[in-house]
Amino acid sequence: MKGFTAADVGGQAGKCFHVTGANTGLGYETTKVLAARGARVLLACRSEEKARQAMENIRLEVPGANLSFVPLDQADLASVRECAAIVAREEPRLDVLVNNAGVMVPPLERTVQGHELQFGVNHLGTFALTGLLLGKLAEVPGSRVVITASLAHRRGKIDWHDLDARRSYSRYQRYGDSKLMNLLHMYELDRRLRAAGSPVTAVACHPGVASTDLGRHWLAFRAMFPIMGWMLNSAEEGAWATLQAATGVVEPGEYYGPQGMREMSGPSGIAKRKPSATDPEAARRLWDVSVQMTGVDYGLV
């Protein structure tokens, strides 16, 4: 099957990548490949212990890997701000922000600021971090923002009157909603970056159906892999779309994912998104709501 794999990632020496949720799953596999190609990679994670263990494991395979830990808890906007401040202050350059961190179908929980967890982590945390690092990215020609969505965006249907699940909560619906928000965020960010003549490119990706611990709350998801795992993506394969979005030749505003059956597995290429993921009115509305809820204004008209 034709498409982009880790073998297509060229040399990345001199570049700096910021990967959220990098201690496990897709983030870990992405980090490992980037480090092997000579990049400096910042592992933005909640747990310093887990991040440092991941760095140690990567260095066993990639001796001399240029890795650094940055604390980040996307369920706390104060932590998001501090993470961005550390990167802006301590890193000479930032070439690519890989928004990989997320949660999937947990029981009803809330962020530090009181937002429904999937909405708060998957969208608001990503929105805030991207906006706070945009100035740093703009210092480097050819820089990128990568936003990780999901096949689940196809079931997304945003309830504008109950964004924080105060009235009702379906963990599966809210996950799909948050992934639709990721694509609307990227769509509107791309539009605004182009209008501003920014050197930053925004793209999105999805891993297909990949075996990672992201699905620990979804029993059916976990049960599926022993039966159907041979036709789905491993975590390593699931990272191919992220790697394409972060390092390959891309179109601004495009969406990348597996090219196998129903986009569940295989090498990466251009992915399909449902029409509502490119609804300009919804994208603008979500942008305005997100600025209000996070207090992060990108400064892009």
Residue 233 DSSP one-character state: B
CB 77 within 8 A of CB 132: no
Residue 71, CB-side half-sphere exposure with 13 Å CA sphere: 9
At how many degrees (to 10) do helices 280-294 and 126-137 cross?
A: 90
CB 258 within 8 A of CB 264: yes
Residue 124 DSSP one-character state: I
Question: Of the listed 28, 169, 172, 175, which one is catalytic?
Answer: 175
The neighbour count for residue 160, using CB atoms within 10 Å, is 9
Question: Scanning the structure block, which residue is given the tokens 């993470």?
Answer: 83
3-class secondary-structure state, position 87: helix
- 71 bridge partner residues: 45
5, 4, 43: which is closest to 27 by C-alpha?
43
Determine whether 175 is an active site residue: yes
CB 243 within 8 A of CB 6: yes
Residue 80 vs residues 55, 113, 182, 271: alpha-carbon distances, Å:
21, 12, 17, 29
Catalytic residues: 175
